[in-house]
Amino acid sequence: MTTALERGLVVCHVCLALNPLHDHRCRRCHSSLHARTPHSIQRTVALLITACILYLPANLLPIMTTTSVGSDLDSTIIGGVLVLWRTGSYPVALVILTASVMVPVGKILALSVLCWLAHGHRPMTPAQSARLYRITDFIGKWSMVDVFVVAILVALIQIGDIMAVRPGAAALAFAGVVITTMFAAESFDPRLIWDREIARND
Least distance in angstroms from the C-beta of 40 to other proteins: 13
- 3-class SS at 64? strand
C-alpha pair distances (Å), 44 with each of 64, 153, 159, 185: 30, 34, 45, 7
Beta strand extents in 69-124 (DSSP E only): 71-75
Q: Is residue 151 a contact residue for other proteins (CB under 8 A)?
A: yes
Total Cβ atoms within 10 A of residue 186: 15
Least distance in angstroms from the C-beta of 196 to other proteins: 11
Which residues from 84-103 bind other proteins, rule CB under 8 A? 84, 87, 89, 91-92, 95-96, 99
Number of residues that bind other proteins (CB under 8 A): 69
Q: How far apart are the first and last CA of the chain?
A: 12
Q: Is residue 145 a contact residue for other proteins (CB under 8 A)?
A: yes
Phi, psi for residue 70 in degrees, rounded to 5: 90, -20
Q: Is residue 79 a contact residue for other proteins (CB under 8 A)?
A: no
Q: Which residues bind other proteins (CB under 8 A)?
A: 1-5, 7, 9, 11-18, 27-31, 84, 87, 89, 91-92, 95-96, 99, 126-127, 130-131, 133-134, 140-142, 144-160, 162-163, 166-167, 171-172, 175, 179, 182, 186, 190-191, 193-195
